[in-house]
Amino acid sequence: SVLKKVLKKAESMPKHLAVHGWITFNGQKMSKSLGNVVDPFILGERYGADAIRYHILREMALGADSSFSNEIMINRINSDLANGLGNLVSRTVAMADKYFGGTLPADREAGDFDAELIAEAKGLVAKVDEFMDKTQINNALAEIFKVVSRANKYIDETAPWVLGKDESKKARLATVLYNLLETIRIVSTLLSNFMPTTMPKVWEQIGAAESDITYENAGKFGVLPADVTVHRGEIIFPRIDVDKEIEELNKIIGSNAEPEEKADDGFEPAPIADEITIDDFAKVDLRVALVKDCEKVKKSKKLLCLQLDDGFGGRQVVSGIAAWYKPEDLIGKKVVIVANLKPVKLCGVESNGMICAADTPDGAASVIFPDQDLPCGAKLR
């Protein structure tokens, strides 16, 4: 129960994590750090949320100051995720597919180095438990990746590519590959709370069923069936060209840099409307809603059709913001809507409400995004 509680904390941690007091991962934009602006959404789009979450939890000890840079992050992704875990999964599955057509034979032959790998894999959950009980998440992850490194070393020690050339060594080769698949199963089970999007892809590739990847099975070896079938898939963590990527990120940071403040930006606010009473204002029901889906309205260049979770079963709203937002810019974001606006049809599409947006100096509309932690249906007052 303690482990589950701490893992739950680990899952939500990236929503609010301070780094040197400069950067706050709050689900929107990180604040200025050494003159640069780092947007976690950009990082998430380029490397995946799992990789970013892993880097933060692995690199930064809770309650302590930690450094952050794009280069540190990319090198961590390359060393642990691409060269470590990604390489282990890719090599193992590829060899099982090449030498056995994807399905291992049941015959086994033990050999050197097996016992050491199996012992480290079976003993991993106890070490992870100990660190998680102390909320030392970075150390728990370090232990997991020690076993990943040991498994990659095991490949070099046993040389499956040599065994594959000798028909008499098929049972030994099957043993080596099975030991690797079991190690991956244990490692990926313990990583699933930290990388919930990627680990199911690993389980699919190694042929693990849902019952195989329970926490209770993380301390056992020999859970996968002897004749397990693997399924080759995409590389889960492709290696990143560090120099090229840093150059690209610097360009993005430069393009997102805030312009120097001007005394007068030429913006003239629209006149304030006639006064109303508090009773008049109370008639307008403003609510928080989550954009579940969004697409352009076929008959219009200006309209987007948004499917919203408004906390009351959902609704459809059409908004004239297509000139400034693409559908993918809005999906997954919280917005503010006028919830009690009378339904109308725009270009033949029914709209049940209105998205709140603000005027900008250039005449565009800027959608108002509330705190992402606010629940759907929360009333603004």
Q: What is the pLDDT of residue 220?
A: 96
Domain at 2-219: CATH code: 1.10.730.10
The arithmetic mean of pLDDT across residues 10-36, rounded, is 35
Q: What is the pLDDT of residue 265?
A: 59
Name the residue with higher pLDDT: 264 or 17. 264
Q: Which of 183, 190, 119 is nearest to 149 (CA)?
A: 183
Q: Does domain 278-367 have CATH number 2.40.50.140?
A: yes
Amino acid identity at 213: I
Q: Left if phi > 0, otherwise alpha if psi is -120 to 50, otherwise beta: which for 34?
A: left
The arithmetic mean of pLDDT across residues 25-29, rounded, is 34
Q: What is the pLDDT of residue 5?
A: 41
pLDDT at position 10 over 70: no
Q: What is the pLDDT of residue 36?
A: 45
Domain boundaries, the chain: 2-219, 278-367
- Enter the pTM of the model: 0.60
Q: What is the pLDDT of residue 336?
A: 95
Q: What is the pLDDT of residue 227?
A: 96
Contacts of 239 (CB under 8 A, 6+ apart): 78, 82, 83, 86
Query: How do residues 342-373 score in pLDDT, each as one tens digit?
Result: 999 999 999 999 999 998 888 888 999 998 88
Query: How do residues 201-257 score in pLDDT, each as one tens digit?
Result: 999 999 999 999 999 999 999 999 999 999 999 999 999 888 888 888 877 766 655
Between 159-173, 247-261, 310-324, the lowest mean confidence (pLDDT) is in: 247-261
Residue 62's pLDDT band (cuts 50, 70, 90): confident
HEC string for the chain: CHHHHHHHHHHHHHHCCEECCCEECCCCCCCCECCECCCHHHHHHHHCHHHHHHHHHHHCCCCCCCCCCHHHHHHHHHHHHHHHHHHHHHHHHHHHHHHHCCECCCCCCCCCCHHHHHHHHHHHHHHHHHHHHCCCHHHHHHHHHHHHHHHHHHHHHHCHHHHCCCHHHHHHHHHHHHHHHHHHHHHHHHHCCCCCCCHHHHHHHHCCCHHHHCHHHHHCCCCCCCCCECCCCCCCCCCCCHHHHHHHHHHHHHHCCCCCCCCCCCCCCCCCCCCCCHHHHHCCCEEEEEEEEEEECCCCCCCEEEEEECCCCCEEEEECCCCCCCHHHHCCCEEEEECCCCCEEECCEEECCEECEEECCCCCEEECCCCCCCCCCCECC
Name the residue with higher pLDDT: 235 or 25. 235
Rg of the chain over CA atoms, in angstroms? 26
Q: What is the pLDDT of residue 248?
A: 84
